[in-house]
Amino acid sequence: MAKLFAQIRFIAGALALALMIAAATPVSAQVNPTTSAVKEQQLLNTLQDGGISGRVSIPDQKSANLIRPAGRDWQHWHQVTLRWIGAIAVLGALALMVIIYLSRGMIKIEGGRSGRTIVRFNAFERFIHWLTASCFIILALSGLNITFGKPLLLPLLGPEAFTTWSELAKYAHNFLSFPFTIGVVLIFLTWIGGNIPNAVDIEWFKRGGGILSDDHPPAGHFNGGQKVIYWIVVLGGGASAVTGYLLLFPFYGTGISGMQLSEIIHATVGMLFIAAMLGHIYIGTIGMEGAAEAMGEGSVDVNWAKQHHSLWLADEMSRAKGSGAARPMGTPAE
């Protein structure tokens, strides 16, 4: 009899203990996470939208979050998916440029230089262009280091040099974001007038912008391709800034999920932005004779203007005739 009572007591005790464990575990899942038979993946799948949280006595309640399975999806995105997107976008853009350069070469000024130049961008316009461009280049390189530095540079530089470089790059990324944002805002305000899409752009695109042939579709101050670049800078720069500042000032604007989403948008926009700007740099340098001068000295050869921006040139000439001189023109090139 005493043995029977002892057995009943044991079973009741075991049941009570099981009940206490079940009640104390803050998991809404069907799976008991304390059972050794539960596989980690099974537990994570069951907890997909929730997590395992405890209680803390410090003011920062976020520290009570012990496991957040959604973080693993983000980690996979960051270490695998993003690297694929970045590699395809950046290497794809470079490969495309090599193909275009090898098949088309530099687009020359037909009939050579006239020896007369016309002002295309004033000092302020060139300043905002170079302010934004120089910040962009450093933001792009330091951003790429966050995505690709560990697998590509760490083995080459070793831990100490890589740490020093990454720290510098991170400071540069944080602080240059401010002049970059100012540059994007100034570009938006300064050039919005010339960048509203119109019927001339449709014709320009229909004729492929004259990039792959010797055709020269008419264009105003900015052609269809340049307008696309303008909107990529304004919208891509705007999106980089908003999402970047959400990451730079954590938990001010959003929580963990919002920051993960911000990082996904920031990094994807960043990679596509870099690919687009590689195209812009190509056409402004080795892709087209006479283009770099526009943002260098600020003036271009009249024959270049006739070939690539005929409507703008005609406009400037008629204004110069009408009012003495709108923008200085006819300066003999040295």
User: Would you say 266 and 244 are in contact if contact means Cβ atoms under 8 Å apart?
Assistant: yes
CA distance 236 to 265: 10
**Host H or E run for residue 195:** none
Cβ-count burial 240-272 (b if 16+ within 10 Å, e if not): bbebbbbbeeeeeeeebeebbebbbbbbbbbbb
Site for ligand HEM in 249-278 (CB under 6 A): 263, 266-267, 270, 273-274
State the minimum distance, in angstroms, from the CB of residue 334 to ligand HEM: 36
CA distance 185 to 37: 58
Q: Which is nearer to ligand HEM, 135 or 305 (CB)?
A: 135
DSSP conformation class of 122: -
Name the phi and psi angles at 119, rounded to 5: -70, 130
Contact region with ligand HEM (CB under 6 A), list: 47-55, 107-115, 241-249, 283-291:
241-249
User: Would you say 284 and 293 are in contact if contact means Cβ atoms under 8 Å apart?
Assistant: no
Residue (of 227, 233, 264) closest to 136 by Cα position: 233
Site for ligand HEM in 117-136 (CB under 6 A): 136
Taking CB under 6 A as the criterion, the residue among 51, 143, 224, 290 binding ligand HEM is 143
Taking CB under 6 A as the criterion, the residue among 132, 147, 195, 303 binding ligand HEM is 147
**Cα–Cα distances in angstroms (integers) from residue 322 to residues 122, 300, 326, in the given order:** 21, 22, 9
Q: Does 279 bind ligand HEM (CB under 6 A)?
A: no
The CB-nearest residue to ligand HEM is 244
State the minimum distance, in angstroms, from the CB of residue 107 to ligand HEM: 26
Site size toward ligand HEM, by CB under 6 A: 26
Q: Does 241 bind ligand HEM (CB under 6 A)?
A: yes
State the minimum distance, in angstroms, from the CB of residue 222 to ligand HEM: 21
Taking CB under 6 A as the criterion, the residue among 120, 129, 173, 309 binding ligand HEM is 173
Site for ligand HEM in 178-237 (CB under 6 A): 180-181
The runs of H, that is alpha helices, within 153-236 are 154-157, 159-191, 199-206, 224-231
DSSP conformation class of 28: -
User: Would you say 274 and 140 are in contact if contact means Cβ atoms under 8 Å apart?
Assistant: yes
Q: Does 245 bind ligand HEM (CB under 6 A)?
A: yes
State the minimum distance, in angstroms, from the CB of residue 169 to ligand HEM: 10
Q: Which is nearer to ligand HEM, 230 or 304 (CB)?
A: 230
Contact region with ligand HEM (CB under 6 A), list: 11-19, 62-70, 245-253, 316-324:
245-253
Q: Does 283 bind ligand HEM (CB under 6 A)?
A: no
Residues that bind ligand HEM (CB under 6 A): 78, 82, 136, 139-140, 143-144, 146-147, 170, 173, 177, 180-181, 240-241, 244-245, 247-248, 263, 266-267, 270, 273-274
